[in-house]
Amino acid sequence: MGLVIGVDIGGSKVAAAVVDDHGTMIEKMRVETPAKTAGTVNDAIAELVWKLRERHQVDAVGMGAPGFVAEDRSLVRFTPNLPWRAEPLGTEMTERLNLPVVVENDANCAAWAEVRYGAARGERNVVVLTIGTGLGGGVVLGGQLLRGEYGIAAEVGHMNVVIEGGLRCGCGNRGCWEMYGSGRALVREARELAQISPALAARMLELAGGEPEKITGPEVTQAAQEGDAAALEIFRVVAGSIGFGMADLAAILDPAVFVIGGGVADAGELLRGPAEQAFRERLTGRGQRPAARVVLAELGGEAGIVGAADLARQPRHL
């Protein structure tokens, strides 16, 4: 197969690129996502792909969608931030573009890219955690993407980590992992501290113009990078929650490596270090078994595009 197009469909933008068989992007374009109806979103995607096709000979298209994608790699069952409900996206796009189109979950696409071309190159058993506002996951087992019977595997952010009295999650349950190990948790902890103890949170407050509600991820990260004790403690708390959940996943999946990516992972070692420490402290059978490596993602925000493109080259599996 020659060149393929990878598309990363988000709630606020659609990005697409022509990608070669080394995972290198040759040309990239993006548009704002018109989120009014499924039809306008589909039009925007098709238009973007056609623009790229005018200048490149491509053989297939892979699309990453932010939601549940069925096992047929076409039907988008549900997207929380886009108006798709049981949308036959792959079938429609195959007709409109006159090319083979496969659709995958966006976190799965990013995970696949890290395994093929990024931080977990050459590994066969990998868990990739995408830590942004929420906590997404992708799992590769035996060299294949774990999709599950209905295409909904690896929604790791909704593992229950607090049995009673946990925080309410957008999924409807309480105590989900992403309420404790995500950018949302980081910001919640920082604002709470700033409200109850402005003196301890002084540096974060200063960066946010003095108002607790204006503290966001970048302020916490900057303060931590400067060595601010309160911000560092918040990173340890959130990274600790991430590490504990990783220990649970290792009990089930036994990966060789955990890859930590997403916007919060821009903090680098501030997040990775305490996450690995908590993971090792909580690992089942610790000391009697090898512990998975914990590494930072390498492909950044492009992973979704590169992974979607590469998955368009792969035969369907699992």
* Closest approach of Zn ion to the CB of residue 78, in Å: 14
Please say whether the beta carbons of 32 and 71 come within 8 A.
no
Stretch touching Zn ion by CB under 5 A, among 16-24, 32-40, 167-175, 180-188: 167-175
Does 156 bind Zn ion (CB under 5 A)? Our answer is no
Stretch touching Zn ion by CB under 5 A, among 81-89, 164-172, 209-217, 260-268: 164-172
Size of the site for Zn ion (CB under 5 A): 5
Among 7, 115, 156, 176, binds Zn ion (CB under 5 A): 176
Stretch touching Zn ion by CB under 5 A, among 41-49, 112-120, 154-162, 301-309: 154-162
d(CA 318, CA 315): 10
Q: Toward Zn ion, which CB reaches closer, 26 or 167?
A: 167
Q: Toward Zn ion, which CB reaches closer, 29 or 159?
A: 159
Query: Per the structure block, which two tokens stand in for 120?
Result: 């977990």
Does 184 bind Zn ion (CB under 5 A)? Our answer is no
Please say whether the beta carbons of 238 and 149 come within 8 A.
no
Among 25, 26, 31, 171, binds Zn ion (CB under 5 A): 171
Query: Per the structure block, which two tokens stand in for 256?
Result: 């060789």
Query: Per the structure block, which two tokens stand in for 279?
Result: 């993971």
Q: What is the DSSP letter of 170?
A: T
> What residues between 215 and 254 interact with Zn ion by CB under 5 A?
none
Identity at 104, one-letter amino acid code: E
* Closest approach of Zn ion to the CB of residue 181, in Å: 12
Q: Toward Zn ion, which CB reaches closer, 40 or 173?
A: 173
Instruction: Kindly give, in sequence order, each residue whose CB lies less than 8 Å from that of residue 278, ignoring residues fewer than 6 positions away.
Output: 239, 240, 241, 242, 243, 244, 246, 247
> What residues between 71 and 130 interact with Zn ion by CB under 5 A?
none
Does 158 bind Zn ion (CB under 5 A)? Our answer is yes
Among 169, 207, 220, 260, binds Zn ion (CB under 5 A): 169
Instruction: Kindly give, in sequence order, each residue whose CB lies less than 8 Å from that of residue 311, ignoring residues fewer than 6 positions away.
Output: 62, 102, 104, 108, 109, 112, 145
Please say whether the beta carbons of 271 and 239 come within 8 A.
yes
Residues at the contact surface with Zn ion, assessed by CB under 5 A: 158, 169, 171, 173, 176
